Structure 1
Amino acid sequence: MTLTKSQEKGCVLWYDSTALPQGEPRLFDLAWLRENGHLAGSSTGRNQAWFLRYNGLELVWRHFWRGGLVGRVNRDLYLRRPAAQSRAMEEFMLLDWMREQGLPVPRPIMARYQPAGLFYRADLITERIPQSRTLAEVLRDAPLSAAVWGQIGQVIAQMHVAGVDHTDLNCRNILLDEAGKVWLIDFDKCARRRPGGWQAENLSRLHRSLVKEQGKVAGLHWSPQDWQALQAGYDAEVSAVSGKPEQADGYGKV
């Protein structure tokens, strides 16, 4: 990635100039996107995202929304801090670093920081994973083989070996594309950390999300045996990496 930074009237943009040679702040303008045929759709749910087509790229624009009780009275304002420490820029740089490590995560394209008095708003655009669905969506239609569950476990282990704590790992933040490749998405509030209890908590959170999804969707194709296959893939990957001399402790540098 070639990181380029620009600023206008306090608004800060970071973008990959190999993907967007001039940057394009209008990619955060819904009216302009609609008028020029760049808006390809949107997600449903509380935290809406928009799908874009621009310059030959398929993109996802995600605005940073507040959650929980705070989100009921304050939808998107965060206490002001330097742009480099904002939610958008931190996720932008984490994704770029993870891709350098060979991890299957989206390519970051552009991040925006908008000051608003004592607060700021934030946005992030990433490249869309083509022809992919969330794990939750896939399991509504058909079961997955033990091999695929093992692959999901391996990818999570690779993320953990690199020292990345995905604080919201759930069955909607794991994608499978048409080729069967596993992807991890949505790294807001995530960070690189030294080994600790967070790895087990990531897995527990994913397990809870699958149990919750099973409670909502009758006939969801998920069973304890599937989880055992995921765990086996995870354990095998961690053991394989920890046996390498250059990573004797089983984790990359943090």
Structure 2
Amino acid sequence: MAEITTRQTGAAVIWYDAALVPGFAPDLFDPAWLKQTGRLTGTSTGRNTAWFLRYEGREMVLRHYWRGGMVGRIVKDLYLREPVDRSRAMREFTLLDWMHGQGLPVPRPVAARFSPFGPWYRADLLMERIPDTRPLADCLAEGPLSDRDWMRIGAVIARFHKAGVHHSDLNCRNILLDGAGGIWLIDFDKCERRPQGGWAQENIRRLERSLIKEKGKVPGLHWTDRDWQALLVGYRVISAPPDIKYDA
């Protein structure tokens, strides 16, 4: 578990892992400062921008929390103020830290910031960057995965479910594959630990819906019913009692 240090900078409250970054600089949350000092190494311009940076020899990702849906068109990044430890970034930091300590394949959290603004607050999260990774959707746009790969994806999801981790937005862009064959889950905003229940199957159905949607947008997407069945086999092998076996 992280050695969490709390720091106050103006009205903002920062949590950071002192073991990872003993010389933590609050300006790490400022993309303009990162660019000016040569620490910014790139950006990701998906639905919301993320900034890639290098600091004290570590590759990291900075993410600002943005509102989605209809509300996000009016109030882009303000959330109703709440206790610091219940705020968006701090909750995700805490969950990531716990999952990392359990050996689950997630980014390691570095720091989180709570910035109050009257009755509102803004939030930011800084994580270690997982090297040489691509979203599952991008991989499928280029070529098919093997049955073994799909089974491994299913097995990784099952590990999270057995640990009681509910991923509120499990989709084909929040699953990453790395160059060494590793599989990672990302984006745990609004996620939580839960007692075992029907939510796990709904998680799986949500992923299936995202793959169907992606195939509708990318007609040549390399995803078939056989692939999905292989994923389910891998999921069941991990989630089922040890005396039950499934054939591929």
Is the Cα–Cα contact under 8 Å of residues 136 and 172 in structure 2 kept in the other structure? yes
Query: Are 1:93 and 2:94 matched, yes or no?
Result: yes
Using structure 1 for the length normalisation, give the TM-score.
Answer: 0.93
Amino acid at match of 2:176: L
Q: CA deviation at 1:40?
A: 1.1
Aligned Cα root-mean-square deviation (Å): 1.2
Structure 1 residues 242 and 60: alpha-carbon distance in aligned structure 2, compared to 1, 3 A threshold: farther
Structure 2: segments with no counterpart, 5+ residues? none
Alignment of 1:190-205 (within 5 A): 190-205=191-206
Q: Using the alignment, how far apart are the partners of 2:151 and 2:9 within structure 1? A: 47
Q: Using the alignment, how far apart are the partners of 1:146 and 1:22 within structure 2? A: 45
Query: Are 1:46 and 2:47 matched, yes or no?
Result: yes
Q: Using the alignment, how far apart are the partners of 1:23 and 1:56 within structure 2? A: 13
Q: Using the alignment, how far apart are the partners of 1:41 and 1:117 within structure 2? A: 32
SS in 2 for 1:206: helix
SS in 2 for 1:43: strand
SS in 1 for 2:47: coil
Q: Identify the range of structure 1 (18-27 vs 66-75) with the bigger mean alpha-carbon deviation.
A: 18-27
Q: CA deviation at 1:69?
A: 0.4
Q: CA deviation at 1:240?
A: 4.9
Query: Are 1:127 and 2:117 matched, yes or no?
Result: no
Amino acid at match of 1:12: V
Give per-residue Cα distances to partners, 1:85-142, cap 9 Å, x unaligned: 1000000010010011110000000100000000000000111110000000111111
SS in 1 for 2:33: helix
User: What is the match of residue 176 of structure 1?
Assistant: 177
User: What is the match of residue 76 of structure 2?
Assistant: 75
- Identity, in percent, stands at 59
Q: Using the alignment, how far apart are the partners of 1:41 and 1:176 within structure 2? A: 20
Aligned residues: 243
User: What is the match of residue 249 of structure 1?
Assistant: none
Is the Cα–Cα contact under 8 Å of residues 109 and 128 in structure 2 kept in the other structure? yes
Q: Using the alignment, how far apart are the partners of 1:30 and 1:152 within structure 2? A: 34
Amino acid at match of 1:40: T
User: What is the match of residue 210 of structure 1?
Assistant: 211
Alignment of 1:1-254 (within 5 A): 1-240=2-241
Q: CA deviation at 1:183?
A: 0.3
Using structure 2 for the length normalisation, give the TM-score.
Answer: 0.95
Q: Using the alignment, how far apart are the partners of 1:107 and 1:216 within structure 2? A: 32
Q: CA deviation at 1:213?
A: 0.7
Give per-residue Cα distances to partners, 1:56-92, cap 9 Å, x unaligned: 1111101000000000000000000111110000000
User: What is the match of residue 246 of structure 1?
Assistant: none
Amino acid at match of 1:118: P
Amino acid at match of 1:171: C
